[in-house]
Structure 1
Amino acid sequence: MADDATVQQVSALVARTLGIEDRLAEMDASTGLFGSLPELDSLAVLELVQALEDDLGLTIEDEEFSGELFETVGSLADFVESKRLSV
C-alpha cells in the first residue's frame, strides 16, 4: 500500500487534472476513480496519464494501462510507488 504522502500527491494531481479541487479534502486511498467520478472519462484518463508522466517524471507504457490501475486513488498511488521503486 502506498504511503500517505504518495496518496496525497496522487489525489492532488487527480483533483487538479479533473478540475475538482473543491473535492480534494474528501479524497483518500479508497476514493473511486474511473466509473465513480463522472469527470474521469476516457479522454481525462489520457490527460491524467500525461500529468503523471510530466509532474512525477514517470514513463507509463501502453501495456501498463488497465481498469484496475484507475479503480481508486489508492490503486493509482500504489502504481506510482511501484514505478518509482523500479527506477
Structure 2
Amino acid sequence: MCDTVPSDTQSTDTVLRAILTDVLALTPERVAAFDADTELFGALPELDSQAVAGLLTEIEDRFDVIVEDEDVDGEMLETFGALCAFIDAKRAE
C-alpha cells in the first residue's frame, strides 16, 4: 500500500489515515478499514471539492511537500492507494 518504512518517524499510511480522520471528521475505525482499493473522491460524501482543498493543505503541511495545481487530478484522489502513491512520489522528490 503506502510506504511502510518509517520516514520522519511515521509512515505515509499512518499519517494519511490521521489526516483523513482530522480533515474529513471520519472515525478512526472507519479510516482503519481503508485498503488500497478503497474509493475516496466521489465515494466519500465527506470528501467534496471544498474538503479537497483542506486535505491537500494538510498533506503539504504534514509531509512537507508542495502540491502544485497541475498535480491535482481525479486519479490521485480516486482511491486510498492512489493517494498514498501520490504522497510517496512527492516525498521522494
Alignment of 1:35-50 (within 5 A): 35-50=42-57
Structure 1: 4+ residue segments shifted above 6 A: none
One-letter amino acid matched to 2:24? L
Q: Is the 8 A contact 1:12 1:21 kept in 2?
A: no
Q: In the alignment, what sits opposite 2:2?
A: 2
Question: Structure 1 CA distance, aligned partners of 2:18 and 2:37?
Answer: 14
Of residues 19, 23, 31 in structure 2, which corresponds to 1:17? 23
Specify the alignment match of 1:70 in structure 2: 77
Shift in Å at residue 84 of structure 1? 0.9
* Residues 5-50 of structure 1: CA deviation (Å, up to 9, x unaligned): 3223212211221000241221222211100100000000000000
Q: Give RMSD over aligned pairs.
A: 1.4
% same residue: 42
Instruction: Note the C-alpha offset of 1:2.
Output: 2.9
Structure 1, unpaired ranges of 5+: none
SS of 2:73 mapped into structure 1: coil
How does the TM-score come out when normalised to structure 2?
Answer: 0.83
Q: Tell me which of the two structures has the higher relative contact order, counting C-alpha pairs closer than 8 angstroms and 6 or more residues apart.
A: 1
Amino acid at match of 1:29: A
Q: Which has the higher helix share?
A: 1
**Deviation for aligned residue 1:81:** 0.5
Tell me what 2:7 maps to: none
The gaps in structure 2 that reach 5 residues or longer are: 5-10
Number of residue equivalences = 86
